[in-house]
C-alpha cells in the first residue's frame, strides 16, 4: 500500500537527501547522466526488510508514481533490479537514457501497512554536459590500495561517501579504511583508499555540489609475481642461423630438463644456477 508521507518535491527540496540512521532507506539525491548512457542507483535498506519486495517507482509524488520494476518481476529492456541481501542494497538500473527519462524516482519497499520509499532525481543531459561522472560505475582494486577518479565540471564541495554510511571531504576513515582525497588535477576529484578489508566492498558515491555519482567497489588480493628461469648459451649467430627453428626449440627444452636433474644431483645452493652450456 502506498500513501504520501512526504511533502512534494517543489515544496521542500531537502527531501531528496537522506539522513543516515533515521530513514529505513538510503540512496543518492541527484544524478546527472548523459543521453544514451546507463545508470545504476543503489538503495540501502534496514536488515529487517531484506526479504521484502523492493520496487522502483517513477513520478514526483509517491502517491501517484508509476511502478517500473519489482524484485519479484523479470527485468525489462529499460529497467533491471538486483537485490543483494548480504549488503542489504537493492540496485536499480535504467538503460539507454532519453531526455524524457529525466524525472523523480523512488526506491520503495513493500511492507505491511504503508510502503516506505526514498526519492532521488535523474537528470539526462546532452553528451559532454554532465557535471559529475565516472568512466565506469564498477571499480576493481586491491585490498592494500585503490584509486577512484570522479570527473566534474564547475564548482561545489566534494565528498566521498559510503551509501548509507560515513562521508569524507579531505581525509578520514570509512569502515576502517583510510581515505584521502584531492583535486590537484583540474576537473578530477581523486579518492585513495588504503588498508581495506572485505567490509569495504560495496557501494559508495562521490559528490560535487548537489550531484552524486554511485560507484561499486570490488576488491581482490594483489597478485604475487614469480620469476621465470631463463637459460642462455653464448652460441654464435651464424650457427643458430643454420639450425632449423624446431630443432632449436627441442634443444632448449632438453637442456632445461638436464639442468634441473643436474641441480638435484649436485645439490646446488638455493638460487644458484648451473652453467648449462658446460653440462
Residue 43 pLDDT > 50, yes or no?
Answer: yes
Question: 0.85 cut: is pTM over it?
Answer: no
Residue 10 pLDDT > 80, yes or no?
Answer: no
Average confidence (pLDDT) over 235-258: 47
Average confidence (pLDDT) over 181-202: 96
Residue 261 pLDDT > 70, yes or no?
Answer: no
Q: Which of 51, 93, 100, 57 is nearest to 72 (CA)?
A: 51
Query: Which residue pairs, CB below 8 angstroms and at least 24 apart, start in 162-171?
Result: 162/202, 162/203, 162/204, 163/26, 163/27, 163/28, 163/42, 163/43, 163/44, 163/89, 163/202, 163/203, 163/204, 163/205, 163/214, 164/18, 164/20, 164/26, 164/44, 164/89, 165/20, 166/20
What confidence score (pLDDT) does residue 225 get? Answer: 66
Residue 180 pLDDT > 80, yes or no?
Answer: yes
Beta strand pairing call for 30-34 and 116-125: parallel
User: 3-state DSSP call for residue 152?
Assistant: strand
**Would you place residue 241 in the very low, low, confident or very high pLDDT band (cuts 50, 70, 90)?**
very low
Lowest mean pLDDT among 129-133, 181-185, 234-238: 234-238
Residue 159 pLDDT > 90, yes or no?
Answer: yes
Sign of the C-alpha dihedral computed for residues 16, 19, 21 and 22 taken in this order: negative
pLDDT tens digits, 103-144: 999 999 999 988 999 999 999 999 999 999 999 999 999 999
Q: What is the C-alpha separation between 79 and 69, in angstroms, rounded?
A: 6
**Would you place residue 222 in the very low, low, confident or very high pLDDT band (cuts 50, 70, 90)?**
confident
Is residue 185 a contact partner of residue 179, using CB atoms and an 8 Å limit? no
Amino acid at each position: 500500500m502506498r500513501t504520501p508521507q512526504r511533502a512534494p518535491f517543489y515544496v521542500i527540496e531537502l527531501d531528496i537527501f537522506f539522513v543516515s540512521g533515521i530513514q529505513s532507506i538510503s540512496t543518492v539525491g541527484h544524478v546527472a547522466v548523459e543521453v544514451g548512457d546507463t545508470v545504476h542507483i543503489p538503495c540501502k535498506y534496514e536488515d529487517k526488510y531484506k526479504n521484502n519486495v523492493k520496487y522502483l517507482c517513477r513520478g514526483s509524488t509517491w502517491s501517484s508514481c508509476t511502478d517500473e520494476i519489482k524484485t519479484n518481476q523479470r527485468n525489462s529492456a529499460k529497467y533491471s533490479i538486483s537485490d543483494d541481501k548480504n549488503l542489504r542494497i537493492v540496485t536499480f538500473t535504467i538503460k539507454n537514457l532519453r531526455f524524457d527519462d529525466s524525472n523523480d524516482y523512488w526506491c520503495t519497499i513493500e511492507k505491511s501497512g504503508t510502503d516506505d520509499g526514498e526519492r532521488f532525481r535523474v537528470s539526462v543531459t546532452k553528451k559532454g554536459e554532465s557535471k559529475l561522472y565516472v568512466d565506469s560505475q564498477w571499480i576493481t582494486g586491491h585490498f592494500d590500495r585503490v584509486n577512484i577518479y570522479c570527473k566534474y565540471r564547475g564548482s561545489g564541495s566534494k565528498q566521498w561517501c559510503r551509501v548509507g554510511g560515513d562521508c569524507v571531504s579531505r581525509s578520514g576513515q570509512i569502515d576502517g579504511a583510510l581515505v584521502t582525497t584531492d583535486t590537484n588535477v583540474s576537473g578530477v576529484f581523486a579518492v585513495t583508499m588504503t588498508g581495506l578489508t572485505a567490509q569495504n566492498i560495496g557501494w559508495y558515491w562521490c559528490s560535487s555540489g548537489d550531484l552524486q555519482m554511485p560507484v561499486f567497489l570490488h576488491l581482490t588480493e594483489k597478485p604475487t609475481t614469480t620469476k621465470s628461469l631463463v637459460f642462455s648459451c653464448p652460441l654464435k649467430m651464424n650457427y643458430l642461423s643454420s639450425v632449423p627453428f624446431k630443432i632449436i626449440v627441442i634443444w632448449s627444452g632438453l637442456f632445461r630438463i638436464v639442468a634441473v636433474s643436474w641441480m638435484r644431483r649436485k645439490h646446488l645452493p638455493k638460487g644458484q644456477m648451473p652453467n648449462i652450456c658446460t653440462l
